[in-house]
Structure formats: structure tokens, C-alpha cells
Structure 1
């Protein structure tokens, strides 16, 4: 766990005070050398919230093999109930290049954090294909990181189990899901790259996570090598700043959809009496809010994440 930087002075005032943990992650060496204890298996507590009615999984422990200490934007390690899995998870992945000139991207690292930024799952992935470009300067991944890492199928299954019946927060999360060959119910996704309020702040419809972290959180990330843990934590914090407004908008659009659907059923087989005039409609198929299968499914039903 890295030490708090000056970037955290503004953000720390807004975050709830995490409880200090007895065991801290090792500090990241400035030289970038590999920690002597890095090849040991890291056990992360993963029992569920007692009040999480949507959680049907019984995941107790996860094992991750990391070749480097895990950096974080959190000032101290989160513990206690704030370290449990919970309903909301943020995910970020790092890719390496395969094929000719390393142009094709494949999964090399997956990091998942909970609502409070605690690391729930963090592991490198051993690519099936030969890596022709590790992109270390941006991905932070080296040959030693993936040489003895878990297989893709193992990581894919574990991530699928974790995401089941949970809200997935991410930035351009479709890219991460594609790399994992997974799908997730659209209504259970919160993508900070697609949220219109963030488009307004960044003054672009394609905001970068680095820019949002600076504009919304007041911190600098991705200065050198990327950290999928830090990116996942930053994404969750950005979402939390707009969570109330975001969720209220989704609920309002769900009601509009329900009313619209009910109106269509009531007017089935009848001619319109409005003289051919078009009624004002609300587009619920915008990129920020996918159309639900049915109004009753909006909150209570979602399909299982599948591989």
C-alpha cells in the first residue's frame, strides 16, 4: 500500500475515515524491484454483507499471486465491515499485446475493489498466446508477473462469480468485459465513461479516467505505469460523487418506461384520438441507461453473468 501523497489532501477531507488495519501492504519500491515476499499467496477476506439480499454466492477466500506490491490511492488499508465484498464492485484490467507487433490486446491483470476501495481481487493472468509487447511503460506488466500467474479460465470463473448479482462500476467497462469474455446485465452496470453529467464536467463525450480523477477528485493518477487497483478505486470514488443523482435518474427513467409500457397495453387495438399529433416521449435507450427487458425487472431481476 503506497503512502498518501499531496494529491490526497483535498480528497481525504471528503472520504470517510477508514479503520486502520493491522497488516499493511508492503510499500512500492522506487526502483520498481520485485518484493521478496511477493510470490506468496495473498488471502483476501471475502465474506458477504449480512444485509446484502442480492448476494447468493458463498465466496470465502481468494488467492492471488502478485509479483509486485499493490499501490493504492487510499491513505490506509480498509478493514472490518468496509473490507467486505458488498453490493458494488469496481473493476479495471491491464492488457498486453499479442500477435504481429503486439497490436491485439489480451488480459494480463484484473483488479476489483469494493465500495470503500478495499481490494477484493487482484491478480495477474497468464496469457494463452505469446506476448509480443508487454507495454510495460503503461501496463506495468512484465514477463515475471505473468510467467506463473493463474490461467485465464481460472481468473475468468472467479471474476464471473464475484460479479454475479452485483452492481459493476467501471470506466469504459465494455473493454474489460470483452477482455474477460464475460457479459454483465446492462442495468447492473455504472459506466463513468458514459454518464452524461461527467461528459459536461469533462466537456467531452469521451472523458478519460485520468481527467475525471483530476476534475472530480482533485488527484493525479496514471502519471507513469498504470495501476489497475488505483484506476478501479478512482472509478468507484467518481461514481460515489454522483451516486445519488445517478440512481435517482435511473429510477425516474424506470417509472417513465413503466408508464409508457402500460399506456401501450391500454391502447392496444384502438386508434389514437390525438388528431395525429405526436406525444412527447422520453428516450430511455440512451447510452447512459439501457432499456430494461420489462419494468418489473428494473431493480429486482437480472441475468447471471456468463462466460
Structure 2
């Protein structure tokens, strides 16, 4: 394989590592029922997995070699790109809820209600956007050389309302929650340690890490969403009524790298979105992969693996009969291992 990208295979290597670092902290966040962080890891991990496979299969071609895979991966890209922002919204909402409690713990019913609302935000909105995208989908999918399968979107006003606007709107909602959270933190900073230790199930260190994650996500993903809208809006908007005349779900647009790289701004949007899941995966791992909770789980995994090998070796030695001090050459074979 001779890829047209001179940096190949840098991206596949980093995206593969992004898959690993996305799912390493997942088990203990899942056990703690952290909806926002679990959704964040699923979004970055699945998106990185899709981009990893796509970047290898279509490193040097635009052949439609895996149409069923492209059907799936295009939908994953839609859901995961929105899922990053909705998971951040769920996290910022949780942080605001904790900061506004004044040290009072929530009842089990209130906690269950919060989990349901956060689940609807983190998982329900991405599913809704995936369904809405079908309304403005003019063809089956696109294939970009070096990038792989991408969702196709009809450039009409309806596309901006039903699809493009979601990361920006959700990012602004997260911004509002974050500002209110910081305000609560400032006015109640003396009670902050009590709030995070009593009834919230969250240490002050973990609270701050989540706040930093939300801030980084808003600084990066919301401007990217605005930039993508501005670049897409440069093209002539087509009347929505013409969609029924142009839609063809059997058609696949094949885009060589020389074409999508010809326009500087379009190339920037394509490559930025290509790197978003990798960047977000590593950012999450930097904040949570080296925390004390993570180190405890690493030690637990290490001890479990060590016990497996130690137990196996000890059992093998214990089950063997003792070697006699003096045996003939004929009987040595019975005790060899």
C-alpha cells in the first residue's frame, strides 16, 4: 500500500492508541454510573475505531469496497460527533447540580431522575440527530481518499437546522451550565469540600478534572462547529424542494484527495474533524487515566494478572511428585517437565 498521505501511518497508529485510552477507564466509570463520562468514552472510542479502519482501507484509493461498513460508519460518525457535545452537557449539568446543593444530599428518587435525564441527553439526542439527518441525506454516503466513509448532507437551510446546528447549540448550553457552576463554586468555595464529599460521590480533585474536561471540550468543539457551518455556508444553498429530485440512496460520491484538498478551508474542516476523536481521547485519558482512582484499578489489574500466572506456576509445581535423590537414567523421563 502506498498512501498519498506522506505522514501515513501516523494517523492509524494514533487512532488505534486513542481506541485503547478511550476504553481503559470505562469499567470503573461504568460501575460508578457516570453517564456523561461513559458517553464521552463511547463517542471517542467508537469514532476513533471507525476512523482507524477507514484510514487504512482508503489510505490510497476511493473504491467502494465495503458499502455495508460505510453505511454503519457514516452513522457512527454522526452519532459520535454529536455525542461528544451531549456527553459534555451531561457532565456540566451534573457538576452544576452538585455545586447548587449547598451540602444537602439528594434522595435516591432524585438521583434516579437525574440519571434518566442525563441518559436522554447523552444518548437520546445523538440518536435523534442520526434520524433527522436522513431528512437531508441526498445519497448513500461519500468516500474521501485518505479519510474514508463520511455522511453526505444536502446543502440546504434545513440541514443547518436539523444537523449542523446541534454541536453549537449544545456547546452553548454547556457553557451556560459551566458559568453557573463556576459562580456557585466562587460563592460557596468554603463549603465546596463538604459538597463534594457528602452525598455527591465525587472528590474535589475529580470535580476539578471534570470541569477542565468540559472547558477544553467547549473551547475546541464549539468553535469547530461554528467554523464548519461557516465553511459549508459558502456554497450556494439549494432549495429543500429540490432534494426529492436529487436524492439517490444508491449513489456514492467518490472524492480523491486532490479534490477535497484543493480548497484550503474545506480541507481544514475535513482534517480537523478527522483528528477530533483522537485529540479528545487523549485529553480524557490525561485527565482521568492518571488519577488516583485509575492507579488503584491498574494495581488491581496487575495483581489479578500476577496471581493468575503465580497460581498456575505454583499449582504445576505442587502437583508434580517430588524428584527422588537417586534415580536411574531409565526413570528420569517420568519426572522431566
Per the normalisation by structure 1, the TM-score is 0.26
Please identify which structure carries the higher strand content: 1
Higher RCO (C-alpha 8 Å, min separation 6): 2
Per the normalisation by structure 2, the TM-score is 0.24
- Whichever of the two has the greater Rg, that structure is 2
